[in-house]
């Protein structure tokens, strides 16, 4: 039964987003990924990764991309193909351009390109607030820490190696956390409206959850629907500005259903000649842009 009220209908769609692909048969999932293939040649297959689909398996995960790579390879190659290989990862909630390799050699070559930062990656994110300045680079190391609260959990967080001296506000270097990883993210604002912004992001390094942490804790602009990094000490749904809720026609009590609005928009891979791949944001992301009156830049 489909609700008549468009807001209720949208809420139903959002709630279903993360569950849908966990319920389907692996063959059906492989078929979905086949339909979402944007490019293939003898070395690689590029897919537009759907929302809510983990790349790797884990506790409580029924379906993931890694598990269906052998089935997908057969579907693409008419039955006698070696399984495809993962070259990089995207978070479960991130959508967009993802590269798979047809052989171990190709996978190693592409992993090396990612590791040596020769792959240009451009993401789009809808964030709360407005970054100040509207364009710049966040360069703050990131480390994983345990959050001590009534529900202890682990989160990535900033480990800056500078601090402000309380007596005179001067910037002084501190001893960095040994286990922290260097993390650099370029960003620029593409549009702003409804107490939100659309940002274009270029992660120069590839630390786990880097974009989410840099935006939330570095710029104070968490990604819309990022319930994990909108607070530090608790696990709770994101608190949205009044104007944003009004435009989305949502109540704060339903904010927990909002999906993460982070999309791998473009990827440039220097394989022989540079290969440039672009994936349009998913339907729910475009719908949010419209509701918030954020104008999509024309490429």
* Distance separating alpha carbons of residues 155 and 138, to the nearest angstrom: 19
Residue 2 CB burial class (10 angstroms; 0-12, 13-18, ≥19): exposed
* Distance separating alpha carbons of residues 39 and 171, to the nearest angstrom: 48
| Catalytic (active site) residue 226 | no
* Cis? peptide before 133, omega within 30° of 0: yes
Mind giving me the DSSP string for 246-297? HHHT--GGGGGGPPP-EEEEEEEEEESEEEEEE-PPPHHHHHHHHHTTPPPP
Considering the candidates 5, 48, 67, 91, report the single residue annotated as catalytic. 91
Residue 172 makes CB contacts below 8 A (sequence gap 6+) with 162, 163, 164, 165
**282 secondary structure, DSSP code:** P
* Catalytic residue positions, numbered: 91
């Amino acid at each position: 039964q489909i609700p008549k009220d468009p807001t209720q209908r949208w809420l139903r769609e959002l709630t279903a987003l993360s569950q849908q692909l966990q319920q389907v048969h692996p063959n059906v999932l492989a078929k979905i990924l086949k339909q979402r293939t944007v490019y293939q040649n003898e070395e690689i297959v590029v897919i537009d990764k759907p929302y809510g689909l983990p790349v790797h398996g884990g506790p409580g995960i029924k379906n993931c991309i890694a598990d269906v790579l052998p089935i997908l390879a057969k579907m693409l190659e008419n039955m006698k193909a070696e399984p495809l290989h993962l070259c990089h990862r995207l978070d479960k909630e991130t959508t967009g351009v993802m590269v798979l390799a047809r052989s171990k050699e190709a996978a190693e070559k592409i992993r090396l390109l990612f590791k040596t930062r020769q792959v240009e990656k451009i993401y789009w994110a809808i964030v709360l607030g407005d970054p100040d300045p509207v364009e710049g680079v966040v360069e703050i190391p990131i480390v994983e820490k345990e959050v001590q609260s009534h529900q202890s959990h682990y989160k990535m967080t900033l480990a800056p190696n500078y601090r402000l001296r309380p007596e005179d506000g001067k910037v002084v270097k501190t001893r960095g956390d040994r286990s922290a990883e260097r993390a650099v993210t370029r960003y620029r604002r593409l549009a702003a409206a409804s107490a939100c912004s659309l940002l274009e992001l270029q992660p120069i390094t590839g630390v786990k959850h880097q974009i989410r942490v840099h935006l939330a804790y570095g710029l104070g602009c968490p990604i819309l629907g990022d319930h994990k990094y909108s607070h530090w000490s608790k696990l709770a749904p994101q608190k949205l500005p009044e104007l944003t809720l009004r435009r989305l026609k949502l109540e704060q009590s339903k904010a927990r259903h909002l999906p993460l609005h982070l999309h791998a928009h473009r990827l440039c891979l220097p394989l022989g000649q540079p290969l440039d791949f672009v994936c349009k944001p998913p339907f729910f992301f475009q719908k949010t842009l419209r509701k918030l009156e954020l104008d999509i830049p024309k490429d």
